[in-house]
Amino acid sequence: MRDTKAYVKEIFQIEPSTIVSLYKINLRDRGQYLFHAGENGYKKRIIFNGENYDFMPIKAEGFEMHGDGRLPRPKMTFSNHQGNVSLRLGIFKDFINYKVTRIKTFVKYLDKENFPNNINPHAESSPDVSFTEDIFFVNQKVAETDQIVEFELVSLLELQNASIPSRTMYSNYCSWQYRSDIGCGYRGKPVSDDKNKRFVPSGYSGQMVGEDSYFPTEYGATEFGKRNEDDEYPVWSRTGTYNKGDVVRIEPFDDDKAIYPVSIYVCIQDNARSHPALDREKWTLDDCDKTLCGCRLRFSDHAIEAGGGVRMQANNLEEDVSWTELNNGLPYGGFPGIDPYEFK
């Protein structure tokens, strides 16, 4: 139970203890990010209530209530050094609707492990002495550059696009995460970007998806997207130089690829040394447009010609199997059957 009397008493001290703000981003079934902004020059890990909050260079503002009754819409700006935040945006869908909690307490009530020799010289450590938690949700990504990523937060009363239940049934949109072991499971060669622009003009009929491709003449389906001897694409290296047609992978931050699939990037210009997630002129992400057309680009019988038609087994994550529309159906995560009929 929160000790209200203790923190109110501390506020009205002649020289109150320093206030520190701690932040949590609840990742639902994927854990949580715990961090602090390094207030008052303190840039080490902070331990509070047995939880570790790492220093992260962020700017958080706008949490205060307005006198005219308007609800606050705080802004959180993160440093995007080496694309660390950008890489997570794809995994967590720009963090839209994820819960953000701000905890404010006094330095004197932090866990004893924060002090020399594990001795708190100020008071007894107490997780109960803290302000009322501020709870918000990510409403939108406001900006993304090589330097920063900025988010707008809103209260639960203003939360937009919240969905109950969490999986919405769409007739023309697949809810599976591309290349994830859950649902999609695609393990073939890179096929197209998220607008169905193909890398090589092979496979599914161009009459259905257009004749445009990144490499219309340079590569055939057999030459493009070759893997190494371990049947994997090489991991992108900061010291490497890449040319048109090279394929690299960026590993997820978590080893559970059922939740965090790898990202496959295709180099579309020569002499590329930049990070694939940050340079869209020289790199293109292998992605799916989440429609039936995108699914058929990868699993139709014609997709085999472009290196598709390969899926990871649900019960054996080490072994890939042939998977085509004719023999197995499409692992499409939408529900075309719910499309309403037109009555005439």
Domain range summary for the chain, segments of one domain joined by +: 4-158, 169-344
Q: What is the pLDDT of residue 148?
A: 93
| Residue 57: strand, helix, or coil | coil
Spatial neighbors of 229 by CB under 8 A, at least 6 apart, are none
Unique residue bearing structure tokens 């590569």? 219
Contact in structure between 266 and 199 (CB atoms under 8 Å): yes
Structure-block tokens of residue 236: 């992108």
SS3 35: strand
What's the pLDDT at 222?
64
What count of other Cβ atoms lies within 10 Å of the Cβ of residue 65? 9
CB of 48 within 8 A of CB of 127?
yes
- Cα distance between residue 212 and residue 284, in whole Å: 15
Q: Could you give the CA distance from residue 242 to residue 115 in angstroms, rounded to a whole number?
A: 48
The CA distance from 53 to 41, in Å, is 15
pLDDT score for 343: 45
What Cα–Cα distance (Å) separates residue 3 from each residue in 105, 126, 127? 11, 9, 9
Amino acid at 144: E
What is the full per-residue pLDDT of the chain (344 aa) written as tens digits?
555 566 566 665 656 678 889 999 998 777 889 999 988 778 889 999 889 999 999 999 998 877 776 788 999 999 988 888 888 887 788 898 899 999 988 888 888 888 888 878 776 666 666 677 889 999 999 999 989 999 999 987 776 555 555 566 777 888 888 888 778 888 888 988 988 888 887 665 545 555 678 887 766 656 787 787 777 889 999 899 999 999 998 876 554 455 567 889 999 999 999 888 888 899 999 999 888 888 888 888 777 776 777 776 654 445 677 777 778 888 888 888 776 655 44
Closest CA to 289 of 208, 233, 226, 181: 208
- At 53 the pLDDT is 94
pLDDT at position 10, please?
62
The HSE-up count of residue 166 (CA atoms within 13 Å, CB side) is: 6
Before 72, cis peptide (omega within 30)? Answer: no
Using alpha carbons only, give the angle 35, 178, 138 rounded to the nearest 5 degrees: 35
